[in-house]
Structure 1
Amino acid sequence: MRNLVLVAGLLAMSPNISFAGGTLQANEISKTVIDKVAVRPEDLPEAVKSALSSNYSEWKVSSAYLVTKEDNSQYYEVNLKKTEESTTVNLDKYGKKLD
């Protein structure tokens, strides 16, 4: 959510943001994430927990979120940690990894 506020602040200053891959228009950002709600790891759907345990068995869930996009599609953003390493995995409610 903090990142979304930061992006909104940047957009207020400039309608275009340039980055290494090109220029991002203000209306492109507003069509992405509209809601991000924290979810306790034990409250994740069984399919998501199963996918995590089989594909990331050595990793521990540090935080998880249910993300809703403007088109009302949803996915789980799961932050994982293993010793000093960390990664983020996006999974749909069926445990399928999203790109």
Structure 2
Amino acid sequence: MKKLIVSALALTLVSFASVQAGNFTTTNGGVTTEITAQEKVSVKAENLPDGVKNTIKSDAFEGWKVVSAFLITNADKTQYYELNVKNGSETARVKLDKDGNNVE
């Protein structure tokens, strides 16, 4: 039973690790809203680009550890890395481009 639960959990995590969607347009009371989706793919910390690795090894990130990392691809095909980092009990989300520069 334990193996079945672990297998089901692993399958669920794999299915959520890569979410891909398109653009959606909704109309509500004459107001049209376009919702742009993103693609989010899990990345191992050791597989991050050198620019990102250098940034997280810098003094600015001293004491912080990468908990999880994702490659985000926007609808316009721009990409950045979203890192969930932790320093003791403090957590943060950091967005960096492939060269390790902050993304807004």
Could you state the TM-score of these two structures normalised by the residue count of structure 2?
Answer: 0.67
Give secondary structure in 1 for the equivalent of 2:57: helix
Distance 1:92 1:80 in 2: 16
Residue deviations 1:30-70 (CA, integer Å, cap 9, x gap):
22x42000000000001101011112121000000000000
Give secondary structure in 1 for the equivalent of 2:53: helix
State which of 44, 48, 54 in structure 1 corresponds to 2:48: 44
Displacement of 1:95? 0.5
Q: Does 1:59 pair with 2:68?
A: no
Could you state the TM-score of these two structures normalised by the residue count of structure 1?
Answer: 0.70
Unaligned ranges ≥5, structure 1: 5-11, 17-24
Give the number of the structure whose alpha-carbon radius of gyration is greater.
2
Distance 1:65 1:48 in 2: 12
Aligned to 1:21: none
Unaligned ranges ≥5, structure 2: 1-15, 20-25
RMSD between superposed Cα atoms in Å: 2.5
State which of 73, 84, 87 in structure 2 corresponds to 1:82: 87
Identity %, equivalent residues: 37
- Dislocated runs of 4+, deviation >4 Å: none
Instruction: State the one-letter code of the partner of 2:75.
Output: E
Instruction: State the one-letter code of the partner of 2:38.
Output: I
Cα–Cα, structure 1 residues 41 and 69, in superposed 2: closer, same or farther, change >3 Å? same
Distance 1:15 1:91 in 2: 35
Aligned to 1:92: 97
